[in-house]
Amino acid sequence: MADRKSERGGILGAIGQFAFVIGIVLLTKTVAAEAYYVPSGSMLPSLLIGDQLLVTKFPYGYSRYSLPVPLAPASTERLLGKLPQRGDVVVFRLPRDPSQTYVKRVVGLPRDHVQMRDGRLWLNGKVVPLRRAGVGQMEMDNGVVTAPRYIETLGGREHAIFKLRWEGELDNTQEFVVAQDQIFVMGDNRDDSADSRLAPAAGGVGFVPVENLVGRVDGIIGSWDPIVRHDPVWTWPAGLRFSRFFSRVN
C-alpha cells in the first residue's frame, strides 16, 4: 500500500512540475517576450524570410493580444499602455483577421497625416528624409534581384528600405489621417508590402488599432534561409545565417 501511495505521489508530483513549467512558459510569453517567424519579404532589407524574431511585450503595455490565446474581452485601453515610437518595428494582429500575425514598421501615430507622393513618404506635411545607400539582394517569387537600397530617417532614427519604382499602385495615395487609438504601418520593402496604405477590403492592413499590438521587435535570435529546403536534407545547415543570430533590428 505504501508503494502505491509513493507511486501515486510521484505521478502527481511530475504532473505538478509539468504544469509549473507550462505556467512559467505561458507567463513569460504573455509578460516578457515571444518568438515570431518571418514568412515573407515585406520587411526586406531589415528582416529576411526565415528570421526568428524576439518580440518584447512590455514596451506598449498589455491587451488581450498579449496573451498566447486572446481570450480576454476587447478593450481600447491597454494595461500600462504606451504608444510606439515612429520607426518601431512591431508585431500585431491583423485587424480584419486577428488569427493572423503581421510585422511592419510604425510610420504614423494618432492624429498624424500620412501620404505617399511619387514614392516618397510624407508625414504631417513634410517629406521624410531619404538618401541612396547602394544596392541589396531582394528575394522575389521568381528569384533574387539586385534592388536599390535607401536610408530613411523617421523620428530621428534611420532604417533601410528597398525601392524599385516610383510610380506604382501605392506610390501616390490619399492623405491618411490616423485616428485616436490607431497607428499606421508600412513595410520596408515598399513596392511589395500590403500594409496600411491598402484598405482591408483590397487585401491590405488598413489602420491598426493600438489594441492589436503584440509587441516590439527588438532583435533576431536566429535565421535560416528556407530556400535550402528544396536541396538535399544534409545541405540544410548551410542555410543557417549565423551573422544574423542575436542581432539588433533597427
C-alpha cell at 80: 500600462
Q: Which amino acid is at 15?
A: I
Which three three-digit cell numbers place residue 57? 511585450
Alpha-carbon distance of 9 to 171, in angstroms, equals 67
**Distances from the Cα of 19 to the Cα of 11, 14, 70, 167, 200, angstroms:** 12, 9, 20, 56, 40
The cell for 150 is: 535607401
Alpha-carbon distance 113 to 5, whole Å? 69
Candidates 13, 227, 215; CA nearest to 106 is 215
Residue 248 CB: number of other CB atoms within 10 A?
9
C-alpha cell recorded at residue 224: 535560416
Active site residues: 42, 104
